[in-house]
């Protein structure tokens, strides 16, 4: 049996955190593979430095080295520190050479390469720590493990077929020798051997892809929270941990607001029916949240309510647009150029898209390039928040939508847009941002903590 354990930046961000992680890995009885993020703050530090035209590279490397070596000096005895420092410096020299060659800066994948450096060093430190505790461990990068990716810079996807071959060649033999592989998260390598990152938070997705490639029995995502919550506890003090969810419910929550899990984590696990556990590395005794393929009926109508803020509604008004599918397709193609579309609504004469505030200029630029013969206007409504209410088989519960919207009406909030029908586990709608917190509270009170 194989367990894949993923640890985020805060879980590997300090001396004590790394010790906790090492003990969690060692305590796992199955064959185990750990996937790690960069130490907390490192990726942001590197990306910010890269974007500063006047950056002092010597200072960047000094701070990068200082952060890691300060932790290493607290973790290791003199002999182990010398071994770690030798490997650390070899990798650091490669990093310095990459950045020193100005020709590399024009490479479309240069930012992927720089932003994925933190994982290379955190994995090395954790492997040395486990070895110092009397167990065999080795640090692997995506290159040496065989994690392959396809796609555009900063937004790659794992090539699951090639990664499965890579894992079979590079990782399974290590497991057979009772060695614990510590693999870099966040990125894979493309067909040219260049690093390609999976987007911010992509180490969750990398762990799921590695679990898929290894035919793992379980994937554990270790983070700094106890699991998926019934609501944001900062808004709802009596919010509770959701002990069990199906893949669809977890995917909807992750995509529409909950930051516990990267939205793309679910699919590689779902493809092979691999359970995913969300666990807290600071409280490993807590059960966390189990995500799997089974669907069990509950008395509660909802499991969780989440929200995504900083959104805008872009509405196209054009006569009888619903009868012009080619025009609708063009509009959707142009909107598709933004990072994400969180909602779509149509009527006879309008199409409305829900996008992040930052994506509005790009979306407008694309839409204004379309020849709408009878365009009446393009409207923008900012200051809106998407509410995602999740529960199993919501579409089969007669009158449920009416109950939800009735509860919202009772507190005097307006509904700006509704997205219902695409998923049977979620009801998604848009409200003014100033009403969002009250909407979350009333829905949690009536349909979750109230047990109605």
| Lowest mean per-residue pLDDT among 91-95, 250-254, 287-291, 429-433 | 250-254
> Does 165 score more than 80 pLDDT?
yes
Query: 78 with 202, same domain?
Result: yes
* Strand arrangement, sheet containing 137-140: 137-140, 180-184, 31-36, 2-7, 218-223, 276-280, 289-292, 244-246
CA distance 416 to 432: 7
* Amino acid 374: pLDDT: 62
Per residue in 181-220, pLDDT (tens digit) is: 999 999 999 999 999 999 988 999 999 999 999 999 999 9
Q: Which two tokens stand for residue 83?
A: 């071994």
Task: Give a yes or no: residue 422 inside a domain.
Answer: yes
| Total number of domains in the chain | 2
Whether residue 33 lies inside any domain: the answer is: yes
The reply to whether 199 and 316 lie within a common domain is no
CA distance 367 to 335: 7
pTM assigned to the model: 0.91
Q: State mean pLDDT over 241-261.
A: 88
Closest CA to 427 of 408, 445, 412: 408
Whole-number Å distance between alpha carbons of 255 and 241: 18
Residue 452 has pLDDT above 50, yes or no: no
Pairing between β-strand 375-390 and β-strand 426-432 as defined by DSSP bridges: antiparallel
Tens-place pLDDT, residues 7-60:
999 999 999 999 999 999 999 999 999 999 999 999 999 999 988 888 899 999
Tell me what pLDDT residue 372 has.
Answer: 64
Task: Indicate whether 310 and 207 sit together in one domain.
Answer: no
Looking at the structure, do residues 84 and 210 belong to the same domain, yes or no? yes
- Mean of the per-residue pLDDT values for the chain? 92
In the three-class reduction of DSSP (H, G, I as helix; E, B as strand; rest coil), residue 383 is classed as: strand
Q: Is-contact 222 277, C-beta < 8 A?
A: no
| Same structural domain, 113 and 205 | yes
The answer to whether residue 328 is domain-embedded is: yes
The verdict on 59 and 178 lying in the same domain is yes
pLDDT value of position 443? 96
Q: Please tell me whether residues 88 and 205 are part of one structural domain.
A: yes
> Do 136 and 9 belong together in one domain?
yes
Please tell me the distance from the alpha carbon of residue 186 to that of residue 371, in angstroms, as a whole number: 41
216 near 263, Cβ under 8 Å? no
pLDDT tier for residue 113 given thresholds of 50, 70 and 90: very high
Residue pLDDT, tens place only, 263-279: 899 999 999 999 999 99
Q: How far apart are CA 71 and CA 65, in angstroms?
A: 10
Instruction: Please tell me whether residues 74 and 215 are part of one structural domain.
Output: yes
Question: DSSP letter at 447?
Answer: I
Among 208, 224, 240, the domain boundary falls at 224
Q: What is the spatial distance between Cα 253 and Cα 28, in angstroms, rounded to a whole number?
A: 28
Q: 22, 126 in Cβ contact below 8 A?
A: yes
Please state the rounded mean pLDDT for residues 232-256.
92
* Per-position DSSP letters for 42-70, written without gaps between them: HHHHHHHHHH-TT--HHHHHHHHHHHHHH
- Alpha-carbon Rg for the chain, nearest whole angstrom, is 24
Look at residue 398 and tell me whether its pLDDT is greater than 90: no
Q: What is the pLDDT of residue 206?
A: 98
Q: Which of 302, 249, 305, 298 is nearest to 276 (CA)?
A: 249
Which residue would you say has higher pLDDT here, 211 or 371?
A: 211
**CATH number of the domain within which 51 lies:** 3.40.1160.10
Phi, psi of 53 (to 5 degrees): -65, -25
Query: Cβ distance 137 to 179 under 8 Å?
Result: yes
For residues 312-338, average pLDDT: 81
What pLDDT is stored for residue 201 in this prediction?
Answer: 85
Query: Could you say which of 192, 224, 256 is where a domain stops?
Result: 224
Whether residue 139 lies inside any domain: the answer is yes
Considering the domain architecture, whether residues 206 and 308 belong to the same structural domain is answered as no
Q: Predicted confidence band at 297 (pLDDT cuts at 50, 70, 90)?
A: low
Question: Among 186, 202, 224, which residue terminates a domain?
Answer: 224
Q: Write out the residue range of the structural domain in which residue 437 sits.
A: 304-449
Q: Are residues 310 and 219 in the same domain?
A: no
Residue 243 is assigned to a structural domain of this protein:
no
Q: What is the CATH number of the domain that holds 426?
A: 3.30.2130.10
d(CA 42, CA 61): 11
Which two structure tokens, joined as six digits, stand for 2?
Answer: 């194989």
In the chain, % of residues over pLDDT 90: 74
Residues 219 and 364 in one domain: no
Instruction: Evaluate whether residue 220 is within a structural domain.
Output: yes
């Amino acid at each position: 049996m194989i367990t894949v354990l993923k640890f985020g930046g805060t879980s590997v961000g300090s001396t004590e955190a790394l010790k906790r992680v090492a003990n969690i890995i060692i305590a796992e009885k199955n064959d185990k593979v750990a996937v790690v993020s960069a130490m907390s703050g490192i990726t942001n530090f590197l990306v910010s430095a890269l974007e500063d035209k006047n950056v002092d590279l010597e200072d960047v490397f000094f701070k990068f080295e200082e952060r890691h070596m300060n932790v290493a000096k607290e973790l290791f005895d003199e002999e182990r520190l010398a071994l770690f420092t030798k490997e650390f410096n070899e990798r650091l020299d490669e990093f310095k050479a990459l950045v020193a060659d100005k020709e590399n800066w024009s490479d479309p994948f240069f930012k992927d390469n720089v932003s994925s450096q933190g994982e290379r060093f955190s994995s090395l430190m954790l492997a040395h720590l486990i070895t110092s505790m009397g167990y065999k461990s080795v640090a692997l990068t995506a290159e040496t493990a065989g994690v392959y990716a396809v796609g555009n810079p900063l937004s790659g996807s794992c090539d699951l077929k090639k990664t499965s071959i890579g894992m079979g060649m590079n990782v399974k033999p290590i497991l057979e020798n009772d060695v614990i592989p510590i693999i870099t998260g966040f990125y894979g390598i493309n067909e040219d051997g260049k690093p390609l990152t999976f987007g911010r938070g992509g180490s969750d997705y990398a762990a799921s892809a590695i679990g898929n490639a290894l035919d793992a029995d379980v994937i554990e995502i270790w983070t700094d929270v106890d699991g998926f919550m019934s609501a944001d506890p900062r808004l709802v003090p009596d919010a509770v941990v959701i002990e069990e969810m199906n893949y669809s419910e977890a995917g909807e929550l992750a995509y529409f607001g909950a930051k516990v899990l990267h939205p793309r984590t679910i699919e590689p696990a779902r493809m092979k029916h691999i359970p995913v556990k969300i666990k807290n590395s600071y409280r490993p005794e807590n059960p966390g949240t189990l995500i799997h393929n089974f669907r069990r009926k509950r008395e509660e109508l909802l499991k969780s309510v989440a929200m995504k803020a900083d959104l805008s509604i872009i509405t196209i008004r054009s006569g009888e647009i619903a009868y012009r599918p080619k025009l609708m397709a063009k509009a959707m193609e142009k909107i598709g150029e933004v990072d994400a579309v969180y909602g779509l609504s149509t009527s006879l004469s309008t199409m409305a898209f829900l996008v992040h505030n930052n994506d509005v200029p790009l979306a407008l630029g694309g839409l204004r390039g379309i020849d709408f013969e009878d365009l009446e206007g393009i409207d923008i409504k900012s200051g809106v928040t998407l509410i995602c209410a999740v529960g199993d088989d919501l579409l089969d519960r007669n009158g449920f939508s009416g109950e939800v919207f009735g509860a919202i009406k009772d507190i005097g909030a307006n509904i700006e847009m509704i997205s219902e029908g695409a998923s049977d586990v979620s009801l998604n709608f848009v409200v003014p941002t100033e009403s969002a917190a009250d909407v979350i509270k009333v829905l949690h009170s009536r349909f979750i903590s109230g047990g109605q």
